[in-house]
């Protein structure tokens, strides 16, 4: 499971802003929403006749594969870099 999300925004004036977001406290705060999302996904799986356990397992594999991911977005003189550790 990812532990830390680092966001760096380079503004047009050249000064960067860095924000470090620990993932576990954010997940704990939003856990009621996460539980609701899992229930909605399970109902959607049943409606579309997809195996619920296979869908949840695939979702967990995607989340587990996130560490090491980098997303770079540049537009003109502005840039955003998101790193998941």
| pLDDT tens digit sequence for 42-76 | 999 999 999 999 999 999 999 999 999 999 999 88
Q: Can you give the residue range of the structural domain that contains 16? A: 4-84
The pLDDT-based confidence of 18 (bands split at 50, 70, 90) is: very high
Burial class (CB in 10 A: 0-12, 13-18, 19+), 74: exposed
Number of domains in the chain: 1
Kindly report whether the global pTM for this prediction surpasses the value 0.85: no
The pLDDT-based confidence of 40 (bands split at 50, 70, 90) is: very high
Distance CA 82, CA 85 (A): 10
**2 pLDDT more than 90:** no
Q: Strand pairing partners for 9?
A: 17, 80
Q: Strand pairing partners for 75?
A: 78
């Amino acid at each position: 499971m990812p532990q830390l999300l680092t966001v760096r925004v380079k503004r047009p004036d050249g000064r960067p802003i860095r924000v470090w977001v620990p993932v576990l406290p954010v997940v704990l705060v939003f856990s009621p929403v996460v539980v609701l999302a899992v229930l909605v996904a399970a109902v959607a799986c049943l409606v579309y006749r997809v195996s619920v356990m296979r869908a949840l397992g695939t979702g967990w594999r995607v989340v587990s594969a996130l560490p090491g991911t980098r997303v770079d977005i540049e537009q003109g003189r502005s840039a955003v870099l998101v790193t998941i550790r």
